[in-house]
Structure formats: structure tokens, C-alpha cells
Amino acid sequence: MALNIDGIVKCTIDINSPAVSGESYSGLLIVGPPPASKSMPAVASYTSIAAMATAGYEETDPVYLAAMVAFAQSPQPERVYVATVQDSEEPTKTVEKALGTDGWYFVCPAGIETEKYNALSVYVETLEKMLMVTLEADDDSPFLQSGLMRTCVWRLAENQMTDYDPYLHVAICARAASYTPGSETWAFKTLALVTAGQFADSSEMDSDNENYYVCIAKRNVTQGGRVLGGEWIDTIRFRDWLKNKIQMNCFNVLIQNAKVPYTDAGIGLLQNAVIAALKEGQANGGIAQDFYDEDGNKTPGYTTTAPLAASLSAEQKKTRNLPDLKWTAYLAGAIHLVEISGTLGY
């Protein structure tokens, strides 16, 4: 006879932990020179400006000033990453070495020559990252390529001359990246330490998809919010987040099951993983909620389709590759301009 519960009911429990993505869509990577006559690690992270001072940065160092602007925003980032340009290496090489460190998404030059920006933009275009830069009022654009979808330019006015204004791009990154991807727009954000620009005309900046910081109705706010290629910054960021979320959800289905069978049930597990990512994107505000036309016809914010196992050939099943798992979704977007008309009468 059994003398304890183990002798009657044998029970073992395995802990099946999901894989966790190391990708961040909020972290800032400040790329710049080290302090004079000091050796710095190729990549480091700092949780405060005091920590940077302890590490050896001086108050006049571009990287220090950029980090100060980042930590001055509300809410402030938990940390900033710094990639130090070693000796005479090109900034593209500095960023490449930083790819081995998780936690950052935005590349923010500080103390890098403007003529280096074009090569940086070409390189970042090959990554799932974004490049943010600030140009002075009289700087010619250094970017030679058209259609850059991962490069964002912030333009200063003549009056923006404090030590902090050249780091407008760092300020808006720290400010807007505090939002969950899909929940934000990069316009109408108020920044700390950065002076509002006084522009006679913004039409040229608007046509060039450049962004800027101005005072409107006695409130300092960012305007624009586009990459050089014309797409919205928040759309690119949300797209990168959603791609990673779908990939990780499906990967976890594969690793957390002894196997995913090539049956309708197995295909359904992967389809549900995609649906979960889309649902989270909808909850974050990146994907539109279901909507209706004037006749009351409903359009879902997102849809998914998956093939039936019986519709796939034996040869397809033999490869263990599942084709045609598809989805569509509507972006929620954001309102930046409002047109109102009305009539007053007696």
C-alpha cells in the first residue's frame, strides 16, 4: 500500500519558459567621441547623468550634453546607451559594433561631423533601427539618397543657439519613445532644455519632410513627425514592433510544444499567435478598432487567414513549411490637422 500521495498520484511539472525578444523600440544609442584623453568602452549604458560624470565624461562633451538632454525629459528614459567612436573609425563601424548590445533602437549622433550622416543613413536603412539627427539652420542637407525610411531630420532655427538645442533629436527621441509603439505621434510634444525655434516660413521644411520645434498658442511643441521618405515615424516604429511581436509569438508556439502538427489544429496554434500580436497592436493603438460605414457595414480592424491542412499537398507537408498564413490590418494613424466650419445666425 502507498504511504503518501506520491505513491498514489505521480505528478511531475516542467517549467516551459517562453523565449523573450531582446529587441527594444525605445532605447537611445548616443554615438559620439569619448572624452579627451580618456579610454571608454565601445558600448556602455548609463542610468543617470551622474553615472556618466563618474565614468569620466566632462560637462562640455557632446555625448554628455546629449545624455543630459535625454535625462531631462519627462518621463526620462531608464538608461541611455553610448557607443564610443574609437580612434578614427567611421561612425557606421561604431554602430555595427553596438549591434551586439540589446536595448536600443534609435541612433542619435552627438559630436559627429555632419558629412558623416549620409553614410550612417545608408547603413541604418539596412537595419531595423532608426537614425535621428539635428541640422543647424544654415546646414545643407547631407543626405544624397531619396526615399530614406529610417532617417529623421530635425531642423533648428537661427535663434536656437544654446548648448542643448543641437540635441533636439535626442530630446524628442527620449520623449516620444516613452510611449508604447503604436500609441504615439511625434508631433505636439513639449521638450525640456530645448529652445523653441522662430521660423519665418516652414513650407520648405514641410516639403522636405524635416521636423522642427516651435511655439504655437504660447505652447512649445514639435511639428512634423516624418522620416525623410515621407512616412510617419510612429508608423515605421510600430511596423518594426509588430513584425518582432508576430515572429516571437510564432517562435514560442514552436518551442513550447513537443511539436506543432501539420494539421488544422497545429495551423490554428500559429494563426492564434498572429492574432494575439494583432490584438495587442490594436490595444496599443497602432491598429484601428473595428469600424462601420454609413450603411452600418462592419469592417474589422484586422483579419487573418490560414490554409486548411487538406488544401496543402503532400510535398508541401513533407517540407514542414507552412505557406499562406496571412493577415491584413488598418493603421489607426493620428490626427494632426483639423478643418472646422460652422455658421452663426439669429
Locate 171 and state its grid cell.
530630446
pLDDT at 108 over 80: yes
pLDDT at 2 over 80: no
25-73 pLDDT, tens digit per residue, is 999 999 999 998 788 999 999 999 999 999 999 999 999 999 999 999 9
Residue type, 230: G
- Contact of 152 with 237, CB cutoff 8 Å: no
Calpha distance 131→149 (Å, rounded): 10
Calpha distance 61→197 (Å, rounded): 24
pTM score, whole prediction:
0.94
Nearest in space to 70 (alpha carbons), one of 32, 35, 23: 32
Q: What is the pLDDT of residue 237?
A: 98
Q: What's the average model confidence in pLDDT over 235-244?
A: 97
Calpha distance 49→71 (Å, rounded): 7
Residue 175 pLDDT level (bands cut at 50, 70, 90): very high
pLDDT at 5 over 90: no
Calpha distance 233→132 (Å, rounded): 10
Q: Is the peptide bond before 62 cis (omega within 30 degrees of 0)?
A: no
Tell me the percentage of the chain whose pLDDT exceeds 90. 91
Residue-wise DSSP of 200-224: S--HHHHHTT-BEEEEETTEEEEE-
pLDDT at 280 over 90: yes
pLDDT at 171 over 70: yes
SS3 content of the chain, % helix, strand, coil (to 5): 30, 15, 50
Calpha distance 158→43 (Å, rounded): 34
DSSP β-bridge partners for residue 155: 135
135-162 pLDDT, tens digit per residue, is 999 999 999 999 999 999 999 999 999 9
Calpha distance 22→253 (Å, rounded): 18
200-214 pLDDT, tens digit per residue, is 999 999 999 999 999
DSSP β-bridge partners for residue 303: 328
Q: What is the pLDDT of residue 22?
A: 74
Locate 260 and state its grid cell.
506543432
The continuous run of DSSP H or E covering 304 comes out as strand 302-305
Calpha distance 164→266 (Å, rounded): 55
Q: At a CB cut-off of 8 Å and minimum separation 6, what does 33 contact? A: 61, 62, 63, 84, 85, 111, 112
The continuous run of DSSP H or E covering 277 comes out as helix 264-284
Nearest in space to 65 (alpha carbons), one of 159, 197, 136, 171: 171
